[in-house]
A and B are shown apart, each in its own frame.
Chain A
Amino acid sequence: MSQDPTVRVERWTLQSRISILAAAIILAILATGPFFFGNNAIDKLTTLFIYVILAVTWNALAGYGGLVSVGQQAFFGLGAYAAVRLADAGLNVYVSLVLAAVIIAAVSLPISSFMLRLRGGEFAIGMWVVAELCHLLVNLDSLVQGETGTSLIALNAYDADTRHALNYWVALGSMTAILVILFVLLRSRIGSAIQAIRDNEEAAASLGVRVMGTKRIIYVFAAFGAALAGALWLSTAITFQPKTYFGVQWTAYMIFMVLVGGLGTFEGAILGALIFFLIETWFGGSGVWYLIGLGATALVFSLFVPRGIWGWLERRFGLGLLPLGYRILGVPSATRMQTPDDGGIGAAPSVGTP
């Protein structure tokens, strides 16, 4: 096909160039946020950034790695706990937050070699067991004092305004870093391996794709993201109560964001986080019915819209904001490659527009 002069493979479409530029501009504008917004708005946006981190990393695990975990709260809680411990040891609070995530990512490596042997539902609940165990073990720490918890007292070193602004910038920086890392990962050789595994694990293995190694990279990346989110959450909430951080509701939020936004799509996870953020802002006050609504929405999306809103948009309008897929131009329509349309997640479409 490559000899055919009318065929061109394009990665950077005009649309994707504009999108990347737009993303950079939006991030730059956001970076000036603390100079214009009040503390309340700053806090809200900080929360949104944390949600984006959670959604994007859970999506990397489930949407790209095919690993549905209902135990990412293990890393979320451990991230916060490690930050408490590091700050208690006298390290600068904000250094503690980031270092905590790095440490937990390292901790997740041995866990991965064990958990990744499990499949499907076994992996899902197995991770939940790990989260429960982490929760119980953290409770044993005398600093935490069981469910009573503790606080990130070291934050008192900063006055309120500075603290809000620093939280905001660290969260924004973390989110940007996570997005850039995933973007680079997906465009690298690992990205092709990830997509091959997602589409058909056995076929990928037979083609020489290092399935285990690739999955491990995704797993550690997802653990890093969850731990970072947990540490950042601690910086805004200040108090550390194990029950809150190790709660399975975090998984519920992640599943909701990714399913609604679009499982296995880069843009979809961000969209999902934004939608979740708005829904929480509007309906979060309605308590239990809000949670029932979240669960029901996740259920309905998993059954009827398994590719989420972004997946639907992508199909409907041929959108592809980021240069993650390949666009083949000039192929006669009769021989154009077709994406199997089975409605299943197991054979999700390739990233971008096929």
Chain B
Amino acid sequence: MMIWVNQIVQGILLGGYYAVIACGLSFMFSVMRMINLAHGSLAIVAAFALYVLADQYGFNPFSALILVLPAMAVLGWVLQRTILERSQRGGMLVPILSTFGLSIVLDNLLFEQFGADTRSLAPFIDELSYDSWTITDDLYIGKLAALTFVAAVVILGGLQLFLTRTQLGRSIRATAEDPDTVGLIGINAKRVNAAAAAIALVTVGIAGAFLGMRATFDAYAGGPQLIFAFEAAVIGGAGSLWGTLIGGIVLGVAQSLGAQISPQGFLITGHIVFLAVLFGRLHLDTIGTKFRKTVRRSA
């Protein structure tokens, strides 16, 4: 019995990581109405950047973030102004195609540079990578996992405050709602979108850091991370900030329980729960529409 409780707790904590990687994807979707298929690859780019800074220059991964996060912000800005903005003008299909092309380029550039070896940031954070608080014999809470979860809450809360309390945040919300009208009140929609992309990539950088610390990664690890981020975002309701935390937790718990059933169960259960949630939601929509129609007819 305790084993299952433990698995649920580990799943919730894992959900914190998924929330961190999903919030950037969800944020860009809600502001720019596009899904960035290079999202996972960009997290891996950040993880490798941290690895190089730690391995070659002796930085602690946390202090290396001071260099990597601004770099990610710049990358996001440049990406938006050069590729994403242009692709959005081409209709709905082009952003999917161009960001997928970008992910292939990034993945293989990383492979070219770093080869097939898996890396991890765990050796550079010493005991934080394995230390834990023991609650009972069967229940423990990893310090890194707890830190990741807290970071998720802080990032989501921070984003929420930023969006409601600052002028840039309000501009981002306004641009998300009606990009054609913001120009009429003096807001440069292109600049706002670039700022939003920069912010999204900062969260991607943080996700890359936590991924690197809690697990191993290689040049082609971006694809799975994109899928996890997407699953968490969709389960939580795409575009909703706190929804990504719930989505992350649902995904994390599903995977964690699945892993208890069988080694392959981790990924399989995650995907199945994702599809089930999607299926359920689509069906609820249909039922809802039918219900409304019946009500209207009888009214």
Q: Do chains A and B touch in the complex (CB under 8 A)?
A: yes
Chain B residue numbers with a CB within 8 Å of A132 are 224, 227, 267, 271
A62 to B29, CA, bound (A): 21
Query: Which of A130, A139, A302, A344 contacts B97, CB < 8 Å?
Result: A302
Question: Which chain B residue has the least Cβ–Cβ distance from A117?
Answer: B282
**Cβ of B94 and Cβ of A70 under 8 Å apart?**
no
B279 within 8 A of A: yes
Interfacial chain B residues near A109, Cβ < 8 Å: none
**Is the beta-carbon distance between A302 and B101 smaller than 8 angstroms?**
yes
Least CB separation from B234: chain A residue? A122
Q: Which of the residues B98, B105, B267, B282 comes within 8 Å of A292, measured between beta carbons?
A: B105
Any chain B CB within 8 A of the CB of A294?
Answer: yes
Are B96 and A114 in contact (CB-based, < 8 A)? no
Contact B94 A124 (CB under 8 A): no
Least distance between A64 CB and chain B CB atoms (Å): 12
A129 touches B271 (CB 8 A): yes
A296 to B87, CA, bound (A): 14
Contact A122 B35 (CB under 8 A): yes
Residue B18 lies at the interface, judged by CB distance under 8 Å to chain A: no
Contact with A along B69-103 (1 / 0, CB 8 A): 00000000000000100110111111111101111
Q: Do A299 and B111 touch across chains, with their CB atoms under 8 A apart?
A: no
User: With an 8 A cutoff between CB atoms, is B104 at the interface?
Assistant: yes
Inter-chain residue pair count (beta carbon < 8 A): 134
Measured in the bound complex, the distance between the Cα atoms of B227 and A107 in whole Å is 23
Contact indicator A295/B96 (Cβ below 8 Å): no
> Is B218 on the interface with A (CB-CB < 8 A)?
no
Interface size on B, residues (CB 8 A): 46
Q: A248-B223, A295-B105 are in contact. Are A129 and B93 (CB under 8 A)?
A: no
Contact indicator A259/B108 (Cβ below 8 Å): no
Q: Complex formed: what's the CA distance from A133 to B278 in Å?
A: 15
* A128 CB contacts on chain B under 8 angstroms: 223, 227
Cβ distance B243 to chain A, nearest Cβ, rounded Å: 15
Specify which chain A residues have a CB less than 8 angstroms from the CB of B97 in the assembled complex.
Answer: 68, 255, 259, 298, 302
Per the bound structure, the CA–CA distance linking A248 and B100 in Å amounts to 11
Closest to A348 in B: B91
Establish whether residues B35 and A344, one from each chain, have CB atoms under 8 Å apart when the complex forms.
Answer: no
- Cβ-neighbour of A295 out of B93, B103, B227, B274 (below 8 A): B103
User: A132-B267, A345-B94 are contacts. A121–B104 as well, Cβ < 8 Å?
Assistant: no
**Min CB gap A193→B, angstroms:** 19
Known A292-B105, A299-B101; judge A121-B272 contact (CB<8 A): no
Residues of A within 8 A of B132 (CB): none
Query: A residues 100-130 with Cβ under 8 Å of B?
Result: 114, 117-118, 120-122, 124-126, 128-130
Q: From A117, A125, A300, A343, name the one whose CB has the most chain B CB atoms within 10 angstroms.
A: A125
Asked whether any CB of chain A lies closer than 8 Å to the CB of B198, the reply is no
Chain A contacts for B35, CB-based, 8 A: 120-122, 124-125
Besides the known contacts A136-B267, A299-B83, 12 further A-B residue pairs in the complex with CB atoms under 8 A apart:
A68-B93, A117-B282, A122-B234, A125-B230, A136-B264, A139-B264, A292-B105, A296-B101, A298-B100, A302-B97, A302-B98, A302-B101
Q: Which are the 8 A-B pairs with shortest beta-carbon distances?
A: A295-B104, A121-B35, A346-B91, A299-B101, A298-B101, A295-B105, A344-B91, A302-B97
